[in-house]
Structure 1
Amino acid sequence: MIKKVLKALIVLAGFTAGFSLIYLLKTYFQPINPTTTVSKSAIENKNKIFKKEIIGFLPYWLINKAKDDYSKYITDLTYFGLTLDTDGTILKLTNPRENEPGWYTLKSGKLNNVFDFYKKKKIALSLLIFAGSNKLIETLIEDPVQNSKNMVNDLVPILQEYGFSGLNLDIEYTKEASNEARARFTEFATGVKNGLKENGVNSLTIDVTGYDIVKNNLINIKEVSEIADRILIMAYDFHFPGSFVTGPIGPLWGAGSIAEYDTETAVREALRIMPSEKIILGLPLYGYEWETIGREPRFAVIPNTGVLASGRRVEEIINSCQGCTRQSDTDAQESYLIYKNDKTGTYHQIFYPDRQSTLAKTNFAKIRNLGGVALWALGYEDSTILDPLKDYSIK
């Protein structure tokens, strides 16, 4: 019953957004788990009001699509990014004859005008460092002290050269880890944070998935949240191209029914560990498209048919497709689009966020007094999905 009321009030907040409503939700709907330790700082900071950050990620493969002036929406621009090698240094070559694309794009000067533009708009710049291979990450944390030093030594000159004021650490390990491995990652993150601070870089954001918060994955959320300045919850890819059934990408609600997990659950668990202003909620600007033999939502997927569907592609399909069925999922706060391929006889199902998704999630972030939201990624968006952000951040 409480969850139904919470949902209704978050949707209502999109239209009324009064202080009394937000205060009621902030103070009343605070779930308590007696088996979970709530940090002192989380309690002390419960009722503080903070400037809300809006982080826009700019991946190297979208720089030719992300041509809009995003300064009216974002407070921070994060370049994605550079890739870690096994010893903590920056990977510059993928083979002896080929530059690593994130490194090449940065060093080629293609982004210089972009960075200069946003600096003039008083938008902070950050750099994202990525590692996504389980094997590489396992090697990386074998010597956490030395490899964190290697990383800092390689990065600091780059941060200074391009005017990046912060670092985003995106280590995506995709299975559960031993206690020893978790401890080594914490030691690695500690070394990175201390090394950055010694060199005058005072902002470290660490990215986590929703599953990292509730499972024994590599990142020990409680320990890492005490190291990082921000914890960014990547609240998307709850369904992904390899999913067995179609479904929402970043459902706000619906854990156990429309998805194994949801955004509300991830945030609720995170709030038991860390202060609200430390949490950044990641929002997808894209969806996924699958082929199925049936037209019902959450139908079994034909293997190997899942692909990313940008907001722009979805918008084009809606504008050109007369036989499409477009519906909204009130639990997920996402939409889905189903249409038939007459040539193959199969159906295409696209689940995607839209303007209402952004409105619902920014209202949710306000109610929970989160530190801000992050957008993955600039260049994927449709023409309206960013509109609610104009009223979100306290400038």
Structure 2
Amino acid sequence: MFQLPGSIKTPKDFLGLIEKKYLVLGLLSFFSLSALTIYSSKPLQKLISPLIPFQRLETLKEDKPGYEVFGFAPYWTFNKLSNVDFSTLTTLAYFGVEVGADGNLDKSSKGYETFMSPKATDTFKKAHNYGTRVVLTLTQMNNPNILALMDDPEAQSRVITQAVEEVKNRGIDGVNIDFEYTGNPGSEYREKFSKFVDNMTKWMHQEIPNSKVTVSVYASSVKDPKIYDIKALADSSDGIFMMAYDFAVAGSSNAIPTSPLYGHKEGKYWYDVSTAVEHFLSKMPSDKLILGVPWYGYNYAVEEPKIKTATSKGYYTYYKKGKRTYSQFIPYKSYAQTYTLATNNITPNSDDITDYTEGFDEYGKVSYKAYYVPSLGTWRMIFIEDQKSLGLKYDFAKEKGLAGVGMWALGFDDGKTEMWSLLREKFGLKDLANNTVLAKEIR
């Protein structure tokens, strides 16, 4: 395991040492030129201590036999986790606690309140009883806050210290870093974010043996890097969670799958999961990549019930006021629906549904439902991951030698055991022999 020089006691010492690296390198000139050469490694693998060579971290699969099955548990679904099969789930990622621009964790949030609740304690204990790792997701979705944090070494030291304290105090097993930046701030911030992850991982490992640090990134992060240098992040963390979804969102102009497996090379879709994985594997080892899949879909108002049809924005109504006639635009809503809601509420026998049909996109390899809503005078269409489409994605992950798969999100399967039956069929049950998680006590 990575060991720190004795003088380094806190993350602040880490960052201070980084600032002094050029002075240290000057002192090293008294030593042999060969020693200098060893410690002047690639720019994206800069060291926390110039005196310690870069060490590639162990992959997820080396710590726990078999495939990773990584599930995010949002605080708002925490009352819907009775369905979770902990004998199959390898990591439960609690989602989440926000990190402020100043590096402080938001302890006034609902996310933190739920994280510290008796319900969470019981869930975490159950997970550990089955040998399932529990990690805390650190979140930030605001561009200015992310950049401010990356520009402030003191703030980074603060969040690293607080994250380690929370993991220690709760008796859990690490963190997932989910900073979702939109746009491209330049390579400077990719390097800063990579170094932040590197510091977090090394300090977490030093303070908590067998802990894990993973990073969530967009599926398009090689095509459009934003703040994510995939090679550097893979080198400096225990694993990368590819969010292989939201290729289409509620506001999309056309109704397409949110997670198409194929279709890009055929010119059907702007991008797809298989192409994204191909791009990632050109930058990182396959056994550190977790393929995240959606347990939800987007329900669109559409012009007609066909794949890639235009979405309907709404309609006009007209009314008179005095001698004048006025029009009012009534927008149709497109929205996300969980697997359970789409399965239970969209059926041939549902109220206000006619012309119900089901189909399968042979390019995206995703199932869909289409139906007419007489009261609104519009067609609707939803692409939803089911056993057929998820099975193809799980097989794809295995064929590519990936670390495993992950789900956004636990609780979206509320009451639907078939999702877990499929995971057991594809990935089996965990091997609990010598499992280090079993011995940890939740507090």
TM bin, normalised by shorter chain, reads: 0.7 to 0.9
Aligned match of 1:123: 132
Which residue is equivalent to 1:329? Answer: 361
Residue number among 288, 303, 308 corresponding to 2:336 in the alignment: 308
Q: Distance in 2 between the 1:369 and 1:296 partners?
A: 34
Q: Which residue of structure 1 lines up, in the alignment, with residue 244 of structure 2? A: 235
Contact 2:244 2:273 in 1 (8 A): yes
Q: Structure 1 counterpart of 2:339, which letter? A: G
Aligned to 2:422: 388
Q: CA deviation at 1:188?
A: 1.7
Q: 1:128 to 1:347 in 2, by over 3 A?
A: same
Equivalent in the alignment of 1:10? none
For the 8 Å contact 2:84–2:410, the answer to whether it is kept is: no
Whole-angstrom distance in 1 between the partners of 2:261 and 2:167: 35
Deviation string 1:123-174 (CA, Å, 9 cap, x unpaired) is: 111111111111111111112x322211121112211222221210011001
Distance in 2 separating the partners of 1:191 and 1:89: 16
Give unpaired runs (5+ residues) of structure 1: 1-40, 94-99
- Specify the alignment match of 2:4 in structure 1: none
Aligned twin of 1:35: none
Tell me how far 1:246 sits from its aligned partner: 1.0
**Any idea what the Cα deviations from partners look like across 1:101-141, whole Å, max 9, x if unmatched?**
11111123221111111211111111111111111111111
Quote the residue 1:318 is aligned against.
347
What is the CA–CA distance in structure 2 between the aligned matches of 1:319 and 1:120, rounded to whole Å? 42
Matches of 1:109 and 1:383 in 2, distance apart? 25
Question: Judging changes above 3 Å, is the alpha-carbon distance between structure 1 residues 126 and 300 closer, same or farther for their aligned structure 2 residues?
Answer: same
Distance 1:266 1:318 in 2: 33
Q: For the residues of structure 1 that align with 2:65 and 2:289, how far apart are their CA atoms? A: 12
Q: C-alpha separation between the residues in 2 aligned to 1:236 and 1:69?
A: 21
* Cα distance between partner residues in 1 of 2:176 and 2:278: 23
What amino acid does structure 2 have at the position aligned with 1:217? K
- Asked whether the equivalents of residues 87 and 130 of structure 2 are also in contact (C-alpha less than 8 Å), the reply is no
Would you say the 8 A contact 1:358–1:386 is kept in 2? no
Is residue 56 from structure 1 mapped to residue 65 from structure 2 by the alignment? no
Mean Cα displacement is larger for which, 275-284 or 185-194?
A: 185-194
Q: 1:282 aligns with which of 283, 286, 292?
A: 292
- The structural deviation recorded for 1:216 is 3.1
Task: Return the letter of the residue paired with 2:112.
Answer: W
Contact 2:83 2:417 in 1 (8 A): no
- The residue aligned with 2:117 is 108
2:156 pairs with one of 148, 151, 167: 148
1:61-210 aligned within 5 A: 61-93=76-108, 100-143=109-152, 145-200=153-208, 202-210=211-219
Count of equivalent residues: 344
Task: Tell me how far apart the structure 1 counterparts of residues 185 and 107 of structure 2 sit (CA, whole Å).
Answer: 28
What whole-Å deviation, never above 9, does each CA across 1:4-32 have from its counterpart, x for those lacking one? xxxxxxxxxxxxxxxxxxxxxxxxxxxxx
Q: Secondary structure at the match of 1:192?
A: helix
Which has the greater radius of gyration?
A: 2
Taking structure 1 as reference, are residues 388 and 105 closer, same or farther at Cα in structure 2, changes over 3 Å only? same
Could you give the per-residue CA deviations for residues 229-249 of structure 1, whole angstroms, max 9, x where no partner exists?
101111001111111111101
- Compared CA separation, residues 58 and 319, structure 1 to 2 (3 A): farther
Query: Displacement of 1:194 after TM fit?
Result: 2.3
Alignment check: 8 A CA contact 2:359 2:368 kept: yes
CA shift, 1:180, in A, is 1.5
Give the Å deviation of 1:319: 5.9
Once residues 73 and 200 of structure 1 are traced to their aligned partners in structure 2, the CA distance between those partners, rounded to angstroms, is: 24
Q: What is the TM-score when the length of structure 2 is the normalising length?
A: 0.74
Deviation of 1:50 (Å): 6.2
d(CA) in 2 for partners of 1:216 and 1:147? 24
- Structure 2 residue runs of 5 or longer lacking an equivalent are 1-54, 314-331, 431-443
TM score, norm. by length of structure 1: 0.82
Take 1:320 and 1:73, find their aligned partners in 2: how far apart are those partners?
A: 34
The answer to whether the 8 Å contact 2:348/2:356 transfers is: no
Partner residue of 1:216? 225
Question: Helix, strand or coil: the match of 2:93?
Answer: strand
Q: Tell me by how many angstroms 1:195 deviates.
A: 2.1
CA distance in 1, matches of 2:240, 2:409: 18
